[in-house]
Every structure is written in structure tokens, then in C-alpha cells.
């Protein structure tokens, strides 16, 4: 009798083992979750967790397509998460059934939520980055304000009426009305601004003091579009030593006269190598290379907590016509290392004007 009982127990254990019972196999299943608006627009960056009672089994965030895969052993679970917007919060709490060795699909349709996509364009219908975008509610109270790093701003909001303000430089568009539904709503906003370009790219220039032999200017490093790394050994840096002559002047020829909006230059500070940023920078502009208009001298100091190695960009607003742009650097007794020079302006204003870079007396500009 004992032998038959033992054989029966062994038989049951073998059946359970080969049937793949979760007790022995522990093999999980997967759920692929899709979070979408009512119109099917995916919702990205939504944190969700798969829970068994209060225990988190798996968790993660939705990707650009609104998808997320979570894994667990076969069984019933709760899918928990929330969507926090500038206007309200939406809770997600839905049941998920996971099957062993299978991938099941779970669609989460978010109600009472819309996505506003704002595209900022310039006067030529090109993308315009760097604009300040303010979204206001139906009472015209600000809901959110961002400075766009690209030409696009996106926001998840409660459906309703909104007003949009967009500002860049001195140009502003106010109270652009839009009705947001439980869907993706795209708005194109055009500002009365022409696009600007680096007009100095690959252009010729002259230097009052030539670069030192160890840090030469051999292939137009200052206008080749490349900024050196924070190391004085990088070949993109052009170096001059202060010594008794502490004035450096560089003039860039844009070939034509343009409406110039700003002029920039990159400098390196490396306290371990005796490389200092200039004590002051003055920009001057000219259309003929003879008559010059100097702009206000700029000075700056590094905060004491800044690291010893710093790459710093100096920017000067211009807002006038010019073919030639000159930079004066008040140099310390240490090394002056300069990187890229950029002059921004509007290409549609290009005008042929006479001028000769070779004949400009750099020492007499300032």
C-alpha cells in the first residue's frame, strides 16, 4: 500500500513538472502597454508600475511611441500611474492579466486630455528656435512659460480654450487663440523675423598680433565653424602672449554688407597654464573699412567657484549694417587663447559695397 502511495505521489510530481506549472517553472509573461489620447496620439514619458496589492512587480516609463513593456509571472495585476499636467492630474488604475510565456497587449486610452504642439516659424517659414512661449488659459492667466530650445513646444493640457504668446528678441505675437480637444492639436505661429546665419563662416580675417608659433592660425581656425575643447593643446585654439603689447585686434571681412544682429567670440581660460580671458572686449563695425562705429566695451569676471578650465562665449548685440566687424581684446600679461568668431545677420540684406581687408590699419580702428 505504501509503495502504491509513493508511486502515485511521484507520478503527480512528474505530471506537474512536465506541464510547466508556475510553481516549478516561474516563467513570466509580458504585457505591452500603449498609452494614447482619444485620437490615438501616443503619450510619452508616463511612469507606470505593475503591482500585486501594494508590491511593485515591475515599472518603467513609456517611450516616444507611448509604449512600455512590463513582465511578471502569470496572474492578475493592477497597472498604476498618473499623468501630471499644468492644469490637472489624471490617475491610471487598470487591471492587467498576464499569461505565461505570452505577450499580451494593454491599451490605456486617456480621457479628458489633449496635446498642444506649437511650431514657431520665421518670416520665411523656417523653424525659429529660442522663442519664449507662454500658454494662457481661457481667462488669459499664464499656465506655463518656456523658452524653446528648438522651434517646437509641446504641452499636455485639459481640453479647452487657450491663448498663446510668443516672443523672440523685440518681436511679440500675443493672444493667439486655440481650442484644444482630447486629441493632438498643432498650431503654427509665424513671427515677423528673418532667419539669421553665421555670416563669418569660412570668411577671411586679419590679426594685429600674429599667433605664437606653438599655437598658430594655419587654416582659418577662427572662422572654420569648430570650437576647441577646454584644453590648450587643442589645435583649434589660436594663442597670443600678452607681454608688453597687450592689445589684440581682429577684423573679419563678410564680403558684403549685411544687417548684423550680433557678434560673438569664444575664449579659453586655463588657470593651470597661465591662459586668461581678455580683460575687456570692444566690437566695432564698418561698411567700408575706413569709417568705424565702436560699440560699448564689455567686461566680465568669472565667479570664484568656476573651474580653472573654462570655455566662455562673449556676445555683443549689434543691430546695424556692416561689411567689416572688428574685435579689440584688452589682454592681460598672460596668454590669450581665442576660438571661433561668429557674426550673425540676415542674408536677404546682402549688398555689394567697396572695401579691402588688406588695406585696413588695424591699429587705428579703436
Instruction: Determine the pLDDT at residue 229.
Output: 85
Instruction: Determine the pLDDT at residue 19.
Output: 44
Residue 231 lies in a domain: yes
pLDDT one digit per residue (tens) for the chain, 366 residues? 445 454 444 454 544 444 444 443 456 899 999 999 999 999 999 999 999 988 999 999 999 999 999 999 999 999 999 999 999 999 999 999 999 999 999 999 999 999 999 999 999 999 999 999 999 999 999 999 999 889 999 999 999 999 999 999 889 999 999 999 999 999 999 999 999 999 999 999 999 999 988 888 887 899 999 988 888 888 899 999 887 778 899 999 999 999 999 999 999 998 888 898 998 999 999 999 999 999 999 887 766 776 778 899 999 999 999 999 999 999 887 899 999 999 999 999 999 999 999 999 999 999
In DSSP terms, 252 is beta-bridged to 205, 325
Residue 242 lies in a domain: yes
Instruction: Please name which of 223, 228, 217 lies closest in space to residue 200, comparing C-alpha atoms.
Output: 223
Whether residue 350 sits in one domain with residue 237: yes
| Contact between residue 328 and residue 316 where contact means Cβ atoms under 8 Å apart | no
Whether residue 296 sits in one domain with residue 223: yes
| Contact between residue 326 and residue 286 where contact means Cβ atoms under 8 Å apart | yes
pTM over 0.85: no
Whether residue 250 sits in one domain with residue 355: yes
Whether residue 121 sits in one domain with residue 71: no
Instruction: Determine the pLDDT at residue 302.
Output: 67
CATH of the domain at 286: 2.60.120.260
Whether residue 233 sits in one domain with residue 148: no
- Cell 600674429 sits on residue: 210
Residue 130: which region, alpha, beta or left (left: phi > 0; alpha: psi -120 to 50)? left
Residue 5 lies in a domain: no
How far is it, in rounded angstroms, from Cα 98 to Cα 72?
7
Instruction: Determine the pLDDT at residue 10.
Output: 47
CATH of the domain at 99: 2.60.40.10
The dihedral through the CA atoms of 299, 303, 309, 310 has a sign that is: negative
Amino acid at each position: 500500500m505504501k509503495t502504491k502511495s509513493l508511486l502515485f505521489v511521484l507520478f503527480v510530481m512528474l505530471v506537474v513538472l512536465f506541464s510547466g506549472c508556475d510553481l516549478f517553472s516561474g516563467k513570466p509573461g509580458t504585457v505591452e502597454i500603449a498609452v494614447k489620447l482619444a485620437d490615438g496620439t501616443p503619450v510619452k514619458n508616463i511612469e507606470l508600475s505593475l503591482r500585486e496589492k501594494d508590491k511593485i512587480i515591475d515599472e518603467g516609463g513609456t517611450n516616444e511611441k507611448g509604449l512600455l513593456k512590463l513582465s511578471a509571472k502569470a496572474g492578475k495585476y493592477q497597472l498604476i500611474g498618473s499623468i501630471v499636467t499644468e492644469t490637472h492630474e489624471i490617475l491610471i488604475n487598470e487591471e492587467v492579466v498576464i499569461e505565461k510565456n505570452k505577450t499580451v497587449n494593454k491599451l490605456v486610452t486617456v480621457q479628458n486630455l489633449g496635446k498642444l504642439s506649437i511650431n514657431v516659424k520665421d518670416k520665411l517659414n523656417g523653424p525659429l528656435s529660442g522663442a519664449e512661449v507662454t500658454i494662457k488659459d481661457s481667462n488669459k492667466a499664464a499656465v506655463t512659460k518656456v523658452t524653446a530650445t528648438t522651434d517646437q513646444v509641446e504641452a499636455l493640457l485639459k481640453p479647452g480654450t487657450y491663448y498663446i504668446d510668443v516672443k523672440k528678441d523685440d518681436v511679440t505675437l500675443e493672444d493667439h487663440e486655440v481650442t484644444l480637444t482630447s486629441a493632438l492639436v498643432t498650431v503654427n505661429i509665424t513671427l515677423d523675423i528673418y532667419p539669421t546665419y553665421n555670416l563669418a563662416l569660412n570668411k577671411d580675417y586679419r590679426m594685429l598680433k600674429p599667433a605664437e608659433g606653438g599655437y598658430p592660425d594655419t587654416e582659418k581656425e577662427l572662422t572654420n565653424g569648430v570650437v576647441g575643447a577646454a584644453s590648450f593643446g587643442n589645435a583649434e585654439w589660436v594663442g597670443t602672449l600678452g607681454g608688453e603689447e597687450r592689445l589684440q585686434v581682429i577684423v573679419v571681412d563678410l564680403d558684403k554688407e549685411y544687417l548684423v544682429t550680433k557678434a560673438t567670440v569664444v575664449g579659453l581660460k586655463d588657470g593651470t597654464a597661465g591662459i586668461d580671458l581678455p580683460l575687456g572686449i570692444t566690437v566695432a563695425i564698418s561698411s567700408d573699412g575706413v569709417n568705424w562705429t565702436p560699440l560699448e566695451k564689455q567686461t566680465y569676471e568669472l565667479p570664484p567657484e568656476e573651474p580653472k578650465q573654462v570655455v566662455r562665449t562673449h556676445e555683443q548685440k549689434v543691430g546695424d549694417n556692416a561689411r567689416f566687424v572688428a574685435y579689440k581684446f584688452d589682454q592681460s600679461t598672460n596668454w590669450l587663447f581665442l576660438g571661433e568668431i561668429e557674426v550673425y545677420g540676415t542674408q536677404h540684406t546682402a549688398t555689394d559695397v567697396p572695401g579691402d581687408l588688406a588695406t585696413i590699419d588695424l591699429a587705428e580702428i579703436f
